[in-house]
Structure 1
Amino acid sequence: MVYAETRQGYFQEIKQNIGSLIRPQADESYSTVQLSQLSNFQVETDPIYQQLPVVGHPMTDDNNAPLYNNAEIQSRLSLQNAVQIAVKRNPNISQSLANLAAQNANIDVAKAQYYPQLKAGLNTGDFTSSDRGRQVYTVEANQMLYDFGKVKSSVDTQKNKLEAEQANVLVSIDEISTETSRAIIAVLRYRVLLNIAQDQVKGVSRLHEIARLRSEAGISSYADPVQAQSYVEYAKTYLLTQQNKLRQEEQKLRTLLGFDVSRTDFIIHDDFLKKSELYTSPKMNTIPSMIAAQAEIEVARSQKKQTELSRYPTVSLVGSLNQALNGKNPNTGKEDDTDSSIGISMSSNFYQGGAVSSQIRSAGYAEQAARSKLNATYLNIMDSTQIARENIENMDKQIWVLIERERSTAKTRELYEEQYKLGKRSILDLLSSEQSFHSSRAERESARYDIYDTLAIYINVIGKSRDIYQLNNTKIQGFEVQ
């Protein structure tokens, strides 16, 4: 049995070795990306796009400590883990990977021109002559010897397209990561706003009860509880609005993660802010959109070269064999005879009505368009990073103003309640102060989560999603970024 297995393995190896001589071997390394290889290029853009402005300074206090401590957010699922779950099950990434595998197969199609080409056919005689019953079976083999690099340029074009598809997979991963991250941030935002809305309902309901008791006791006007009731109804309407928004965001997140998230808490670690490197110039050659744009330039270049080389001849070794199955062999004139030949063939399409020149011009314009797209992508990244920094800096300032406002409205609320009991303030003053207090709380929390949301967008723009969400060196539906 051991001998039989060894012999079987031996013949299998011989079969594989012979197969490698007549057809290209599939390369499965396409599903593993070497980011250092993809990013091995220099970004050359117009001088007008070179300057990358920096706004403000990192958000730290006087002791260089982060302004926002998220330790109070308890969770069973971190932001990074949630993103990893989403990208490993999203069909958009599956689609990109399928396109990547298809493009990898196109490389083998291009490489096949290096290997022998076999054709076979059956010809009959001229139906209008006496040899109309003749049948000749023909086999022809063609092996390309030299073509001035035409096949190589075709293979290079397909390889460049493969790099573009790899970059598109990275873009898909970053987009799903960002979508998941922003959905989690939105869920956390509306959970906090829902709690504030519930506090507001409790607050104005308490004031309504105070106004009702005072009215029944004859201490205040009957209009006071009526006015308070309108504030209660408004607070309940606001509460329902926040509940609806929360359910919408939870449904979006449920679709991304594949399970009910209404009972799941999420945590945003401090690293989300620290590792984003908000005030560091991004590395342009590691951003997937820039990699994709650069790959399109390389595709255009190789296509242009491929078109230029099509003018040159191709030298091939040609062998043919024909067998007359019925009648005379047209090459030998003998009945049911066999004829064979081996020779060198050189062929070239010297002129096709100016088609090659037009194709070269078209490829040149395609290269110009790809370069313009690279510059446009660079400009969009610069613009987005600048806007993100401006927004975060402004929202940071806004938070401190809202904190002071929250403190002042809290004190005002306490003073107005005491003055109302003494008859020095109206119920409207008390209700307005209560509403202002909860409104300032809601605005402060909204500004805080606006910063997180802007950071998620910024992380996507500068291509750091895979670093922040710990996606490098992990299998994502069979795809890996190293």
Structure 2
Amino acid sequence: MKPGPTAFCAASTAAWLAFASMPAAAQIISGGLTVARRLAPSALARDMGVRPGPELPSAPETTTPLELTDAVRQAVARHPSISDAIAALAQQSGGVDVARAGYYPAVRVGMGGGANNGASGAGRGRGAGTLATASVSQMLYDFGKVDGAVNQSEAQVRRQQAAILKQIDTVAQQAAEAVVMTHRYQSLVAIAQEQVNAVEKVLETARLRAGAGISTKADPIQAESRVDSARANLLQVKSQLAQWRERLGTLLGKSVPPAVAPLPERLASELRIDQLPDASLMPDVLTAEAERRVASAQVEVARAQRYPTISLDVSANKAMGGVNPSTLERNGMYHSVMLNLSSVLYQGGALDAQVRAAVAAEEAARMRVETARLNAGDLARNFREQVIGARERLGVLADRRRSIGEARDLYREQYKLGSRSILDLLNAEQEIHQAAAEQEGVLHDLWASRIGYIGATGQGRTYYGLNNTTVQGMELLP
């Protein structure tokens, strides 16, 4: 049987009364869930008081060509990720002070008031007043709990120091790569412009010959097509150059010099790829080793929790009016000196579980150290092979470019004499500029491999001149 209108109204009224009778907290939670499901970035920023931050320091205005090492120094001097890592180091350093505080006594003072039903003066009755208290607790021996906490905090500091080194190397690597790529497309723009100029000269020659009736009118048409293709290639390369200049501007600041200086051959001559450096100095290995030390200290702390803590406790209290509940005297004073031994006898197996977890974490951290060594060595060897291969290709490409240049010059003379078609000359012009672009590409691939090898082996601070300098308040030493 369906419920009638009266029953429906009664049910609705009951539901409304039930909601109205709900506690205010429940209604707030219901409304809060609705609000929490809304995402409004503007409202979120307003509620958190987010304000536009100060602009990062920019590189000074200059028309001097940008050097690779200068770009790296400017990038690491301003990048916020390095500032973030340095601030985190200050936080970890504070944790060491907190852990060391366990060696020193803890002094507590307090004051409270209340009533009791003890003696009051000469007679029996109720006394009330304020009780001042003071206590001192000094840890005497804890079987290594505080030592383990200090070691763990110090290991976390070392881990954060390694993270700063890694972040500096990362930013230096990004800046060096951006400089190499910007110089690459800067060189390719010059080659593309040379190609446009060369093909335009061929077009001019073809028009003169066609106007004089020496060649057909198809020659200028074919030359115009190649000119358009060369111009389109020039625009494409300029676009890529602009993209990398913007990337470089993000790392350096708003002001980017109009040109990038030739890449330093001194750095190339000083770079040794025939032998890998010590892997223990690489940032990834240092970070993994610091994590292993953190885990090792955690094992010490977990094992020390099994043993008691011996402490000396001194306390005193005085009733500031009223009865001291410890002495049952008005304005009475009470003090005590105690040697305490405290230990957790049973905690449902939690202590043993903590030790097992800490030992497993230490073993995992040890394997991460080996993994970091393995990956660093593999990456360095990979870049080393790329460097060797690029060097060998450069010699072949230089010979190819020279031979194609000779053939192009010969084709020019033969075209003027009418013994060579314009298509042969246009193909020769295109091929020689392709060979030049390919040679520049391999040359910059060689530099990119060198930069990658420097980063993979953790030698960036040495080769970019960052050692014995101060980066965002941090002094870098070899």
Shorter-chain TM-score bucket reads 0.7 to 0.9
Match of 2:148 among 149, 153, 173: 153
Structure 1 partner of 2:72: 83
| CA shift in 2, pair 1:313/1:430, >3 Å | same
Alignment of 1:168 onto 2:168 = no
Q: Which of 96, 105, 130 matches 2:94?
A: 105
Partner Cα separation in structure 2 for residue 267 and residue 439 of structure 1: 21
User: Following the alignment from structure 1 to structure 2, what is the Cα–Cα distance between the partners of residues 232 and 264?
Assistant: 26
2-side partners of 1:459 and 1:419: how far apart? 50
Taking structure 1 as reference, are residues 186 and 141 closer, same or farther at Cα in structure 2, changes over 3 Å only?
A: same
Question: Which of the numbers 393, 398, 423 marks the counterpart of 1:428?
Answer: 423
Q: Tell me by how many angstroms 1:133 deviates.
A: 5.4
Give the 5 Å matches for 1:4-403: 77-125=66-114, 135-325=130-320, 327-403=322-398
CA contact (8 A) 2:276 2:380 kept: no
Instruction: Identify if the C-alpha distance between structure 1 residues 239 and 77 changes in structure 2 by more than 3 Å, giving closer, same or farther.
Output: closer
**Which consecutive unaligned segments of at least 5 residues does structure 1 have?**
1-73
Secondary structure, aligned partner of 1:246: helix
Higher deviation after alignment, 126-135 or 331-340 = 126-135
Contact 2:89 2:160 in 1 (8 A): yes
- Provide the rounded CA distance (Å) in 1 between the counterparts of 2:269 and 2:457: 15
Partner SS state of residue 136, structure 2 = strand
Alpha carbons of structure 1 residues 264 and 406: separation in structure 2 relative to 1, 3 Å: closer
1:100 offset after TM fit, Å? Answer: 0.8
What displacement does 1:128 show? Answer: 11
- What is the distance in 2 between the residues matched to 1:447 and 1:401? 11
Distance 2:65 2:203 in 1: 39
Cα shift at 1:163: 0.8
Matched residues in 2 for 1:188 and 1:127: separation?
86
Conserved? CA contact 1:164–1:292, under 8 Å: yes
Tell me which moved more, 345-354 or 269-278: 269-278
Query: Structure 1, residues 264-311: CA drift from partner, whole Å, max 9, x if none?
Result: 442433331233211112211211111111111111111111110011
Residues 444 and 127 of structure 1, relative CA distance in 2, 3 Å threshold:
farther
Q: Please name the residue that 2:449 is paired with.
A: 454
Q: Is the 8 A contact 1:184 1:266 kept in 2?
A: no
Does the aligned pair in 2 maintain the 1:149–1:309 contact within 8 Å? yes
Structure 2: how far apart are the matches of 1:159 and 1:131?
A: 55
User: For 1:341, what is the secondary structure of its paired residue?
Assistant: strand
Give the whole-Å Cα distance in 1 for the aligned partners of 2:440 and 2:64.
Answer: 18
Q: Distance in 2 between matches of 1:201 and 1:316?
A: 87
Matched residues in 2 for 1:194 and 1:369: separation? 51
Give the direction of change, closer, same or farther, for the CA distance of 1:262–1:237 in structure 2 (3 Å limit): farther
User: Which residue identity lines up with residue 149 of structure 1 in the other structure?
Assistant: G
Most deviating of 250-259 and 185-194: 250-259
Could you tell me which amino acid in structure 2 is paired with residue 263 of structure 1? Answer: P
Matched letter for residue 247 of structure 1 = A
**3-state SS of paired residue (2:78):** coil
- What is the CA–CA distance in structure 2 between the aligned matches of 1:283 and 1:127, rounded to whole Å? 73
Secondary structure at 2:341 match in 1:
strand
Residues 364-373 or 127-136, more deviating: 127-136
The 5 A counterparts of 1:411-426 are 411-426=406-421
CA shift for structure 1 position 139: 2.1
CA contact (8 A) 1:183 1:252 kept: yes
Aligned mates of 1:217, 1:402 — CA distance in 2: 39
Q: CA separation in 1, counterparts of 2:277 and 2:402?
A: 39
Aligned-partner Cα distance in 1 for 2:379–2:247: 25
Distance in 1 between residues matched to 2:281 and 2:365, nearest whole Å? 18
Structure having greater relative contact order (Cα 8 Å, sep ≥ 6): 1
Provide the C-alpha distance between the structure 1 equivalents of 2:259 and 2:340, rounded to a whole number of angstroms: 72
Once the two structures are TM-superposed, the CA of residue 218 in structure 1 deviates from its matched residue by 2.3
Give a deviation string over 1:227-268, Cα, whole Å, max 9, x none: 211211111111111111112222222222225223244243
Whether contact under 8 Å (1:125, 1:131) holds in the other structure is no
Native 8 Å contact 1:86 1:256 kept in 2? yes
CA contact (8 A) 2:64 2:257 kept: no
Distance in 2 (alpha carbons) for counterparts of 1:144 and 1:439 = 78
1:267/1:227 CA distance change after superposition, 3 Å: closer
Q: Give the Cα–Cα distance (whole angstroms) in 2 for the partners of residues 168 and 334 of structure 1.
A: 62
Contact 2:100 2:146 in 1 (8 A): yes
RMSD over aligned CA atoms reads 2.2
Identity, % of aligned positions? 39
| Residues 315 and 243 (structure 1), Cα distance of their counterparts in 2 relative to 1, 3 Å cut | same
Deviation at 1:149, TM superposition (A): 1.7
- 1:191-233 alpha-carbon deviations (Å, 9 max, x no partner): 1111001000001111112222222222222222222112111
Deviations 1:329-359 (A, max 9, x none): 1111122322121221111122221111111
Deviation per CA, 1:393-420, whole angstroms, max 9, x where unpaired?
1111211111111112112212222222
- Return the offset for 1:388: 0.9
Return the offset for 1:318. Answer: 0.7
Instruction: Work out whether residues 303 and 355 of structure 2, in 8 Å CA contact, stay in contact via their aligned partners in 1.
Output: yes
Comparing 407-416 with 100-109, which one deviates more in the overlay? 407-416
